[in-house]
Structure 1
Amino acid sequence: MQAGDTIMALSSGSLPAGVAVIRLSGPLVRGALDALAGGVPRPRVMSLRHIGQGQRLDQGLVAFFPAPNSFTGEDCAELQVHGSPAGVKAILSELRSLGLRLAEAGEFSRRAFENGKLDLVEIEGLGDLLNADTEKQRQQALARYDGRLTDQIDHWRDTLLDLRAEIEARLDFSDEGDVAEDLPESWQRQLSDLEVAIAAALASVESGRIVREGIRVALAGAPNAGKSSLINALARSDIAIVSDEAGTTRDVREVPLDIGGQLFILLDLAGLRETESRAEAEGIRRAERAINEADIVLWLRAPDAEDVAQPETRGRLLTIGTKADIGPVKGQDLSVSTETGQGLETLIERLGRLGDGMAGGEPALVSHTRDRDALVAALEALAETRAALGDWELAAESLRRASAALERLIGRIDAEGVLDRLFSSFCIGK
């Protein structure tokens, strides 16, 4: 990734397609439009142009976005052409001859960050938005991308600056008569309010993670309890192998399911039992780990399968009686039959209610491990501030560290390693 290069990429996905969007950014954009599109169109106005130098390659719409009012902060352009593999290849080849190069993964977004158009929190929101599969994920990601979390962090940082100003005044002007020795009562209230606000945000990280990553639902029980049949019925697809032979499931199979706009990850697991097969034993070990880490465990019991002991889990536990068409089981919360469909809609509704309780109403803005780490560090620094109020220098340093934790979250400091990891997951052309 070289600063100063002009980059290009197909931003509209795989070809062939009805329309292909070729994106450009950098100092050579104007020259490329002069050579390839007959001149630079009016900013932010789509113009129908012939595309090509001398030889006409295609005809399409051209838009120009001059710096600094563009996505990357550089001169940018978009060519909307026909989605022909041959046509797009020819256009990219012509652009390459004009000095442009293919963009790396996430390079457009990285330039937006480096040019101050987006901060790191907003960039993460953009990445989450690109990967959103459900309505709640879209809402959460868009709010973060739109800067709502950044606005909150900026408010906290402004409060920290006010708190630091009072401390610094006592350090720098302790001999002046107009600087009181004790801090005003409003200072203590500001510190308390700030601690409460950051602690509330920290408490919402788990519900935010659940929206972003999905609720993990482990389907567990003895062999032949009906796990694979139930997962197929819920997913409305023959995803899992169904067999009367015990031990056919030996790995953790993940199946995404959208229930009311919330992502659920259904986990089809090996049946739990004693076995001499090393391969099946490994599948059982993985199943026990998945059960322990799941947000919800559906413990399946069937009238024609011997029950086994339930393993430990930190998640919500629902006991599901399967194969209701051949008989009931004891101690069930719900009864279902994949043969007749009995109880399946009730189970989906129950999962939806549990999901609403876990994810909360409006999706939380904080959902990444980085969010949690930064908020924990800021709270610890504020606690140290309280403990150090007898020493102004230590108190000022603790407040500075609280500010640094929040600045690190939005990418003002120590961002390089996070950037490399984040942008590598972006698609080419974004």
Structure 2
Amino acid sequence: MFGKKTITSLVTAPITQNIALIRISGSQTYSIVGKIFDRSLPDYPQKKPQLIFGKIINSQKEIIDEVLLLCFYQPRSFTGEDVVEISCHGNLFIVNQILQLILENGAELAEKGEFTKQAFFNGKLNLVQAQAVNDLIRAPSLPAAQLALHNLSPETQKELEVVENELLDIIATIKVNIDYPEYDGVEYLTGKTALSRLNKLLEKLLIIKKESKKARVYQEGLRVAIVGQPNVGKSTLLNALLQEDKAIVSPLAGTTRDIVEARYNLNGIPLTLLDTAGIHEDENIFQKIKNKNHLVIINKIDQENKLQLPNDICSAENSCFSHKKILKISAKNQQLAELEAKINELFASDLINNISPYPYLSQETYLDALCGDLEVSYKLVQELSGKEYNEDLLDIIFSKFCLGK
């Protein structure tokens, strides 16, 4: 496994640039670097990272480049292995020459996510933190990056351990109750008392599930369709949100024939807005969306003579459309502040300013059956903590990382 494998990769983008960074990680790191570097390396091991200036040379002692080495020693590195990061000039010809020398001397080219995978197997990261690394790299906004950093923090991981330890304590207590009923030194659990403790855990898990759904909005974004009758100002609304003339606007109904797609960042939430052609027959449109996240926008309030609520909204069978979901605006006059606040409330509930301490990811029963279910739950929580894992699943997860991570 990783103890015998030394991997390398270009960490920075594969383009011509001022400086490029090549990472090597594994048990043979210093042996390999010693063969291609013209200076002696620090005595092994060192407690702190060491920075060394020198030259990369080939087997004929020809100089390939002048570089800086940043040397880390296990376990005090990102991967938990010996690591050297080579800062060289960003000419791709030079970069490839250095990589080739490293490979010729015993390293293997890293696969996607393999450095982070090393860190996982060496106990430097659990699975939640590993995914947070990828989320941080791919974050489309500052709030998305903040959520990823939240998952990386040790304090957040402690909350996951609380759930894990509580599950383990319940399982252990039940096992003692079943196998050693005469033992007096352990709490006696009935199905009812166990359920009470489990309900408290369930509350925490439901918070994690709910907050995770909101957090994914910041990372993955949303597709939002602007739907309505012809000439109600859908294209004007799109242009107002984008602050540019993306869609053609005309006083004539039916100007928009095809869907106009545009990207828009709303307080850190990536939205894909879809301006659609007008719907002439919309008797059922409100019934179709009433169970989905939606807002009913009454546009053109600057033209009072045109302001009229559709009968669909006013009818008794559509009483589900509360006033909280109906908003009056003038897109032409840029009256959008309340609309943006409503969208944020609808999909994310101001998650960034109210982050829970948890990471982002019932009835009476027989105790022996309950214990089996709890062991499954405990194993799943341990998988998140990195103490148990399915290797095939990990291969899929880490393959989605970018090269050099």
TM-score by length of 1: 0.75
2:108 & 2:248 partners in 1: Cα distance? 47
Q: Which moved more, 1:62-71 or 1:264-273?
A: 264-273
Report the number of matched residues.
376
Show the counterpart of 2:21. Answer: 21
* Kept in 2: contact 1:44–1:64 (CA 8 A): yes
2:369 & 2:62 partners in 1: Cα distance? 71
State the shift of 1:322 in Å.
5.2
* Kept in 1: contact 2:214–2:347 (CA 8 A): no
1:202 matches 2:209: yes
Could you give the per-residue CA deviations for residues 146-174 of structure 1, whole angstroms, max 9, x where no partner exists?
24443222111211222222222222222
* Kept in 2: contact 1:208–1:363 (CA 8 A): no
Higher relative contact order (CA closer than 8 Å, sequence separation 6+):
2
One of 354, 358, 364 as aligned partner of 1:362: 354
State the shift of 1:137 in Å.
0.9
1:102 matches 2:109: yes
Could you give the per-residue CA deviations for residues 33-85 of structure 1, whole angstroms, max 9, x where no partner exists?
21222233465122222222322222222111122222122211101122222
1:105 & 1:392 partners in 2: Cα distance? 44
The 3 A distance-change label for structure 1 pair 394 and 363 is: same
What amino acid maps onto 2:334 in structure 1?
Answer: Q
What amino acid maps onto 1:253 in structure 2?
Answer: E
State the SS of the aligned residue for 2:117: helix
Q: Which moved more, 1:100-109 or 1:210-219?
A: 210-219
One of 130, 134, 157 as aligned partner of 2:141: 134
* Kept in 2: contact 1:33–1:39 (CA 8 A): no
Q: Which moved more, 1:69-78 or 1:173-182?
A: 173-182
State the shift of 1:249 in Å.
5.3
What amino acid maps onto 1:426 in structure 2?
Answer: F
State the percentage of identical aligned residues: 27
1:52 & 1:245 partners in 2: Cα distance? 71
The 3 A distance-change label for structure 1 pair 407 and 415 is: same
| 1:328-339 alignment runs, 5 A limit | 328-331=306-309, 333-337=328-332
One of 284, 290, 299 as aligned partner of 1:321: 299
State the shift of 1:246 in Å.
4.1
What amino acid maps onto 1:319 in structure 2?
Answer: I
State the SS of the aligned residue for 1:429: coil
What amino acid maps onto 2:391 in structure 1?
Answer: E
State the shift of 1:318 in Å.
3.4
Show the counterpart of 1:49. Answer: 54
Show the counterpart of 2:376. Answer: 401
1:27 & 1:399 partners in 2: Cα distance? 39
State the shift of 1:323 in Å.
10
State the shift of 1:265 in Å.
0.6
The 3 A distance-change label for structure 1 pair 363 and 417 is: farther
* Kept in 2: contact 1:228–1:268 (CA 8 A): no
Could you give the per-residue CA deviations for residues 345-383 of structure 1, whole angstroms, max 9, x where no partner exists?
56445545556636363345555xxx3xxxxxxxxxxx3
* Kept in 2: contact 1:210–1:359 (CA 8 A): no
The 3 A distance-change label for structure 1 pair 100 and 408 is: closer
State the shift of 1:181 in Å.
6.1
Show the counterpart of 2:6. Answer: 6
The 3 A distance-change label for structure 1 pair 8 and 325 is: farther
State the shift of 1:179 in Å.
6.4
1:308 & 1:183 partners in 2: Cα distance? 55
Show the counterpart of 1:165. Answer: 172
The 3 A distance-change label for structure 1 pair 181 and 255 is: closer
Could you give the per-residue CA deviations for residues 315-347 of structure 1, whole angstroms, max 9, x where no partner exists?
13131425969985434610111xxx5324564
Show the counterpart of 2:316. Answer: none
* Kept in 2: contact 1:202–1:366 (CA 8 A): no
One of 222, 225, 231 as aligned partner of 2:238: 231
1:403 & 1:191 partners in 2: Cα distance? 12
Could you give the per-residue CA deviations for residues 295-315 of structure 1, whole angstroms, max 9, x where no partner exists?
xxxxxxxxxxx9886442211
* Structure 1 unmatched ranges of 5 or more: 275-305, 372-382
What amino acid maps onto 1:234 in structure 2?
Answer: L
2:188 & 2:331 partners in 1: Cα distance? 71
The 3 A distance-change label for structure 1 pair 173 and 228 is: same
Could you give the per-residue CA deviations for residues 116-138 of structure 1, whole angstroms, max 9, x where no partner exists?
22111111111111111222211
Show the counterpart of 2:321. Answer: none
1:199 & 1:67 partners in 2: Cα distance? 38
State the SS of the aligned residue for 2:146: helix
1:426 matches 2:401: yes
Could you give the per-residue CA deviations for residues 67-110 of structure 1, whole angstroms, max 9, x where no partner exists?
22221222111011222222212222222222323211111111
Q: Which moved more, 1:391-400 or 1:121-130?
A: 391-400
Q: Which moved more, 1:175-184 or 1:316-325?
A: 175-184
* Kept in 1: contact 2:22–2:87 (CA 8 A): yes
* Structure 2 unmatched ranges of 5 or more: 310-326
* Kept in 2: contact 1:124–1:145 (CA 8 A): no
Show the counterpart of 1:287. Answer: none
Q: Which moved more, 1:9-18 or 1:203-212?
A: 203-212
TM-score by length of 2: 0.79
Q: Which moved more, 1:405-414 or 1:393-402?
A: 405-414
State the SS of the aligned residue for 1:253: strand
One of 250, 258, 263 as aligned partner of 1:255: 263
State the shift of 1:21 in Å.
0.9
2:330 & 2:189 partners in 1: Cα distance? 66
